[in-house]
Chains A and B, each alone.
Chain A
Amino acid sequence: MLAKRIIPCLDVKDGRVVKGVRFLELKEAGDPVELAVYYDREGADELVFLDITASSEGRHALIEVVRRTARNIFIPLTVGGGIDSVDFIRELLQAGADKVSLNTAALRSPELIDKAAEYFGSQCIVVAIDARRVSGGYTSSPSWEVYTHGGRNLAGIDAVRWAKEAYERGAGELLLTSMDTDGTREGYDLELLERVSSEVPIPVIASGGAGKPEHLLEAFTRGGAHAVLAASILHYHSFRLEEIKTYLKRQGVMVRTVSGYPR
């Protein structure tokens, strides 16, 4: 049986981690490589680097960071943010990324998903969806709209419909962020998760809103998520990975526990 995964996410800009990560024991809080190694050794099941730079200099810095990270962590690494071509995907995979996450560019030209899946295989193509709940309306069932450019622009497509399309075009996983719950630390949007995960047969990674281990449990049991993305719940040391996994295990969730590296 497949384990439920916990995936720390690091926001990277110009090759540095942004958004404060408060680890006193680290020499250099902003180094993505050092943080990646830290989370790997703590028992993270995968890692995500989300690049929030748009410049070409930033891209070079990102490739270099991916290369250095791949030499030092031995779990899958996903890289997302501004990926808009098969060539850039190839560059990232060659540098040592195991998967890439597509967002805005896939909405602009959805055939990028088909092409990327064809060239590199569905297993390394993640489609990230930023969704916001549509308020009001006359129907009782809620709906969600997709946003692009880090949540700034409305994409004009229903989130559940886009999720299905992304799957049909060859996405291997979906990274589903609720913009309503993101940053609140009050829990994931379980309704959104449940809707999307019941509509597609591929793994859905829940993102946005985790503040305590109970929220992760809900995402798995009620939301049907295969994995959860975790940022502030880990970065601010509110909870250690081991603590969260012990809790989930006790609640009957299959999680991977780790021992130390053999060196």
Chain B
Amino acid sequence: MKSNEIIVLDSGIANVGSVFNALQWLNVPVRVSQLEKEIMEAPGLIFPGVGSFDQGTAELKQKGLDIVVKKFAESNKPFLGICLGMQLLFQYSEEGGKSIYPEGLSLLPGGVRRFPTELPVPHVGWNTVHPLQGHPLFTKILPASFFYFTHSFYVAPARKENILATTEYGDNFASAVVSGNLMGVQFHPEKSGPSGLQLLRNFAEIVYGHRQVG
């Protein structure tokens, strides 16, 4: 393999094809893999996911990928979690106030919560994303740009400084998070038209060092 390829993690919990397609269309070197060696050698890792937190963690553990993802995240190289791939970075998923799956990757402090029952769930469609801080992931993306969402749970970071952007659905929730080399988005950039592809391009530029994080 070419060592400049960004890896899209084939975790078995997402259709990784659409993220791969988007990066390929952008002419970004990309490969889908679940091999530890390839992942650890890559300059950047994208972790897409859909579905539920408990099934997601279970599948990841079964393949031993939880350890690989953690190792990569700790390597200080750029990491982007998408949807469930972002949620799994947190500590636990909670429902009804008590934590039931205290076994996220615990790379970021905080939990994952379900939207209140008054709201139509899943939250599906195009919603606006409002960055709270200047960050290269949102370069050339106007504030309040629309991104495509489809999810029933959202992350509640324990530390405010980890919230990169918010979106309103009933209340404001964290639609993008950051902590050093770790970045995560709740929406699907690969399905979010021009803004989404710009965000993926920005991630690639961070990976190849054209833009500094922080």
Interface residues, chain A, with chain B CB atoms under 8 Å away: 1-3, 5, 40, 43, 45, 70-72, 74-76, 93-94, 96, 98, 121-123, 172-173, 201-203, 226-227, 256, 258-263
Contact = CB atoms under 8 A, between A and B. Distances in A.
- Tell me if B's interface is mostly helix, strand, loop or mixed: mixed
A202 B125 CA distance: 12
Interface stretch (B68-76, B85-93, B102-110, B195-203): B195-203
B191 A76 contact: yes
A197 to B, nearest CB: 11
Contact of A262 (B123, B150, B194): B194
B26 A1 contact: no
B181 interface: no
A71 B21 contact: yes
B120 A201 contact: yes
B122 interface: yes
| Interface of A, helix, strand, loop or mixed by DSSP | loop
A203 B124 contact: yes
A262 B197 contact: yes
Interface size class of B (residues with CB under 8 A): 35 or more
Closest 5 CB pairs of A and B: A256-B146, A3-B126, A2-B125, A123-B150, A262-B198
A16 B123 CA distance: 33
A1 B193 contact: no
A74 B125 contact: no
A5 to B, nearest CB: 7
Contacts of B51: 121
A172 B149 CA distance: 13
A66 B59 CA distance: 28
B4 interface: no
A105 B120 CA distance: 26
A261 B125 contact: no
